Structure 1
Amino acid sequence: MNEIKLGDVTVTRVEEQHGPVMPARDFFPDLPERAWQEHRAELEPDFLGADDLVRSSMQTWLLRSEGRTILVDTAVGNDKSRPAVPAWDHLRLDYLDRLRAAGVRPEDVDLVVHTHLHLDHIGWNTRLDGGTWVPTFPNATYLMPRADFEHWDPARNPAVAGGVNENAFEDSIQPVLEAGQVRLWEDAHAIDANLRLEAAPGHTPGSSVVQLASGSDRAVFAGDVLHTPLQLAEPDHSSCFCEDPVQARATRRRLLGWAADEDVLLLPAHFGGHSALEVERRGGAFAIKRWGPFPRR
């Protein structure tokens, strides 16, 4: 089953796709080759292929909390023009069928939460309808970090035009803004009694995490604070997509230390395999204490 219970919150893993993304040396240009080789056995096949391509999952965390249906991040999306990432260009995937299989129709979604606004976290915000981008979730409020909203808007920040997020603001953010469904937040935001957004900048200016505290259970939906388990043993190395690698490193160390010290279940955005894990301190770094309760896939 792809569903677990944490206190009063039901958590369901809805995967859009899983597979190779890019060469390890390009994804993490500062990570030494010896680190990949030393940890290859624990990385293959879920996080690293024999071809040295990093493997990632594009997925949504579906939460049911206090009577509401909540989506955390919305993956890559269909029909999107993505010149910066050819593998994600004009996809035709069955994500909405997978969401329905989890018991959720688009109109059932009350809240869409974005840990940040990279193209692989906002794609299903909208769908193509007769040549027009319309909100996929017509009854939902879309919670977006203000710092990212302002950073990725090419009208406000022309420097981002033509970069990794090319076309993403226009086709996945602007339509829900025009529909009046966007709510911006900054610093911290209480979603409900069980869930809270906290700023976790570095990967992007507005990167955040969703903290869950319900009963005795603690978890954190960690977005892109880390992309691979190798960053537990090598926490000072950031991905090539991190806007501020130094801040990303500080955020990662702070989050991993808290998760280790407080026995918090960690749910990164792009981990395949069991998708969730508990971590522990090991020397000046971290290690997997145990994998989470989702079945490996």
Structure 2
Amino acid sequence: MTHSTRGRGDERLRRPAGPRSLRLGDTRVSYVPDGAVQLRPRDLIPDANDEVWAAHPEYLDETGSLVAGIGGLLVENGDRALLIDAGFGPQSWPPAPDGPRGAIHGGALLDGLARLGRSPEEIEAVAFTHLHPDHTGWAWHPAPGADRPAFAGADYLVSAPEWARRDLLQEPEAAGLAPYVRTVADGQEVFPGVRIRVTGGHSPGHAAYVITSGGQRLIAFGDALHSPIQVAHPGWSTVFDHDPVGAAEHRRRLLAELAEADTIGFGVHFADVVFGHVGRNGDDFAWRALDT
């Protein structure tokens, strides 16, 4: 069953997602929330002017902000478990005085894993789409009551180009990952049925993860898209994109692939519509959220 994001008054577009799971053959994937961030839409997407947002109030909360969830994607196959991205961690930041970022907070991811029956010790690897702090938080921040990160027993999988150019990210937290990092190459299988795809664009070595099982495919596309509104406008890059032109080129290829049969997308920041299909009408795309 799908749920269109075109209808106005859609509350799901204005709230962060709760836990959501779906099954692909022998593999279960679950969105594990950690927190949320409010984003100033005009500052986030420079090509979307005030008229755009006036025409699409369904995307904005009562403060006029885009609401982006923060969390990770748990991938389970039998007794084995992989986590894609590690949230923001147990911290909160006030709104930045200018630019796109409003208030941001995390802290719920470990509780969410517990509700799914998983402890951090059961996660064999944490695979990162990229090294921004809203994706690495629990991987470097000490776990409550401990002096080590929650996933210190796991391998930290980072695309080789992302790790090689981590200095460009200017994220001091990345240094805390070093003892656990194992770099991986484009196309490498990192878990049964899960392959990394290095895309670039958003960050120097930004990656997606393609999960294939039971005749279906799910693409966890990281920050290639921040909001469902970009699905209809793939040329709109965000100010967070390292290479805006490259990011837009990748989005166009990604959306064409997401429009193929038996393909599901996972957008970690997509409010409460994190799982969906892409519908296509000629050159036009639309996000069709899954009810899970």
TM-score in terms of structure 2 length: 0.84
Q: Deviations over 1:141-178 (max 9, x none)?
A: 1101122212223xxx5xx54xxx3x32234x2xxx22
The corresponding residue for 1:94 is: 108
1:4, 1:293 within 8 Å by CA — same for their partners in 2? Answer: no
- Note closer, same or farther for the CA distance 1:92–1:70 as it changes in structure 2 (3 Å cut): closer
Matches within 5 A, 1:67-86: 67-79=79-91
Matched, 1:15 2:33: yes
The corresponding residue for 1:256 is: 255
Q: How many residues align?
A: 270
SS at match of 1:202: coil
Matches within 5 A, 1:266-277: 266-277=265-276
2:198, 2:207 within 8 Å by CA — same for their partners in 1? Answer: yes
The corresponding residue for 1:3 is: 21
The corresponding residue for 1:169 is: 174
- What's the offset of the Cα at 1:136? 1.6
Output the amino acid matched with 1:120.
D
Output the amino acid matched with 1:5.
R
The corresponding residue for 2:289 is: 291
Name the CA distance, whole Å, in 2 between partners of 1:134 and 1:150: 24
1:17, 1:58 within 8 Å by CA — same for their partners in 2? Answer: yes
- What's the offset of the Cα at 1:40? 2.7
Stretches of structure 1 lacking an aligned partner (at least 5 in a row): none
The corresponding residue for 2:228 is: 229
Name the CA distance, whole Å, in 1 between partners of 2:106 and 2:272: 23
Name the CA distance, whole Å, in 2 between partners of 1:110 and 1:49: 37
The corresponding residue for 2:4 is: none
- What's the offset of the Cα at 1:98? 1.9
- What's the offset of the Cα at 1:133? 5.8
1:267, 1:276 within 8 Å by CA — same for their partners in 2? Answer: yes
1:36, 1:230 within 8 Å by CA — same for their partners in 2? Answer: no
SS at match of 2:121: helix
Matched, 1:123 2:137: yes
Instruction: Give the number of the structure with larger relative contact order, counting CA–CA contacts within 8 Å between residues 6 or more apart.
Output: 2
Stretches of structure 2 lacking an aligned partner (at least 5 in a row): 1-18
SS at match of 1:52: coil
SS at match of 1:169: helix
- Note closer, same or farther for the CA distance 1:185–1:269 as it changes in structure 2 (3 Å cut): same
1:235, 1:285 within 8 Å by CA — same for their partners in 2? Answer: no
TM-score in terms of structure 1 length: 0.82
Name the CA distance, whole Å, in 1 between partners of 2:54 and 2:232: 13
Q: Deviations over 1:122-151 (max 9, x none)?
A: 111033379996232132111011222122
2:211, 2:219 within 8 Å by CA — same for their partners in 1? Answer: yes
Output the amino acid matched with 1:72.
I
Matched, 1:37 2:54: yes
1:79, 1:128 within 8 Å by CA — same for their partners in 2? Answer: no
- Note closer, same or farther for the CA distance 1:11–1:130 as it changes in structure 2 (3 Å cut): closer
Name the CA distance, whole Å, in 2 between partners of 1:34 and 1:209: 32
- What's the offset of the Cα at 1:246? 0.3
Name the CA distance, whole Å, in 2 between partners of 1:131 and 1:105: 15
What percentage of aligned pairs have identical amino acids?
Answer: 30
Q: Which moved more, 1:276-285 or 1:119-128?
A: 276-285
- Note closer, same or farther for the CA distance 1:130–1:112 as it changes in structure 2 (3 Å cut): closer
Alpha-carbon RMSD across the aligned residues, in angstroms, is: 2.5
- What's the offset of the Cα at 1:83? 10
